[in-house]
Amino acid sequence: VKKAKTAKDSNTHGLTKCRVLLAELEAHPDAWPFLTPVNQKAVPGYRKVIKKPMDLSTIREKLTNNQYLNLETFIADVNLIFDNCEKFNEDDSEIGRGGHSMRRFFDKRWTELLD
């Protein structure tokens, strides 16, 4: 017999997907530029150009602190990583290509894990 889905169930269910997806992104071979916040003192122009920095360790912290209310807010932060990367890096650069590769991987995986 199918259990009625409460809002809490859906959130828990969604958050399990977030944990699975985040672990896979952190383990991806192209993840190294995205694992920790960009060092804005070391990278000229970054602070001025990128209004909302985001990285995988910050997402991990927010997930641990229960700051994602649903799958959508989690996906928005992951996409922010890739959008920032596209804004700051040439498509034809090592980090630029890595960002595109990670976004393709993420899009494929979360559609596979969809509700």
Ligand X SMILES: CO[C@H](O)CCc1ccc(O)cc1
By CB under 6 A, name the binding residues for ligand X.
33-34, 38, 43, 85, 88-89, 95
Least distance between ligand X and beta carbon 51 (Å): 14
Residue of 105, 111, 113, 115 lying closest to 27 (CA atoms): 105
Distance, CA of 53 to CA of 49 (rounded, Å): 10
Of 95 and 113, the one with the shorter C-beta distance to ligand X is 95
Of 24 and 83, the one with the shorter C-beta distance to ligand X is 83
Least distance between ligand X and beta carbon 33 (Å): 4
**Could you tell me which residues come within 8 angstroms of residue 17 by beta carbon, excluding any fewer than 6 positions away?**
71, 110, 113
The pair of structure tokens assigned to 87 is 């804004």
Least distance between ligand X and beta carbon 26 (Å): 14
